[in-house]
């Protein structure tokens, strides 16, 4: 009967270790690739609001002044819909931009409206923010995020542009990333989507009412 030398044992053990190491590294590589892919899928999903070119769900919500409105009340107009909260820094920036755009381009005869839906749990904070910032467009209250869930809101601020026929024509999550190149502001996006020329404010002549 042949004898097994220490050298043979060492080679066998080394081979076993090498195979285990290769398998472990391969498994780790595959797992890392899967996790990376899955994270990217989730990241994209979180960034994407409801698809455009679909019917905008109707809803009814209370305004900060206590009256009740629904999306269908504005049928025949383009509607800019934003989900925000008073404690959200980017939301504050977007609300400020929307306020400036509204004051420059909206009149009683304009064919667009801005609806700012607050997801603040404390409605008093939303009302106080609207009052202190003198927001002239309708501020709606959604403390239980009922409307937000209907619109598959995954982060704030989320901005939608809904056309006169009630279809979503534009959607975007975030304020500082309105355009990846950084060359397009909220004002320019809205002007393009609403057919408004920025150099012709509503209060100073033609261009105030957008065209579909």
Give me the pLDDT at residue 93, please.
Answer: 93
Greater confidence, 167 or 202? 167
Greater confidence, 201 or 162? 162
Confidence of residue 212 (pLDDT cuts 50, 70, 90): very low
- pTM (two decimals): 0.71
Contact (CB, 8 A) for 56 and 137: no
Q: How far apart are CA 178 and CA 172, in angstroms?
A: 7
High-pLDDT (> 70) share of the chain, %: 68
24-42, pLDDT tens digit by residue?
666 666 655 444 334 333 3
Q: How far apart are CA 146 and CA 121, in angstroms?
A: 12
Q: How far apart are CA 160 and CA 79, in angstroms?
A: 8
Terminal-residue alpha carbon distance, the chain: 94
79-111, pLDDT tens digit by residue?
999 999 999 999 999 999 999 999 999 999 999
Sheet of 60-63: strands edge to edge?
A: 68-70, 60-63, 139-141, 112-118, 78-84, 158-162, 168-173
117-167, pLDDT tens digit by residue?
999 999 999 999 999 999 999 999 999 999 999 999 889 999 999 999 999
Give me the pLDDT at residue 58, please.
Answer: 97
């Amino acid at each position: 009967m042949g004898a097994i030398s220490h050298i043979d044992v060492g080679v066998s053990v080394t081979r076993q270790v090498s195979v285990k190491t290769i398998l472990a590294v391969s498994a780790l590589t595959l797992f890392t690739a899967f996790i990376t892919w899955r994270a990217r899928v989730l990241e994209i999903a979180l960034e994407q609001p409801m698809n455009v070119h679909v019917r905008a769900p109707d809803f009814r919500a209370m305004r900060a002044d206590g009256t009740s409105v629904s999306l269908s009340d504005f049928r025949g107009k383009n509607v800019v819909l934003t989900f925000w909260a008073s404690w959200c820094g980017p939301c504050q920036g977007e609300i400020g931009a929307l306020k400036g755009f509204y004051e420059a381009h909206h009149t009683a005869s304009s064919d667009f409206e801005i609806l700012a839906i607050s997801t603040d749990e404390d409605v008093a904070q939303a009302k106080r923010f609207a009052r202190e910032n003198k927001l002239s467009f309708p501020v709606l209250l959604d403390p239980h995020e009922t409307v937000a869930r209907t619109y598959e809101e995954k982060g704030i601020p989320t901005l939608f542009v809904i056309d006169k026929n009630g279809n979503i024509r534009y959607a975007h999550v975030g304020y500082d990333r309105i355009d990846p190149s950084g060359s397009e502001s909220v004002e320019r996006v809205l002007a393009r989507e609403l057919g408004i020329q920025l150099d012709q404010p509503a209060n100073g002549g033609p261009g105030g009412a957008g065209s579909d």
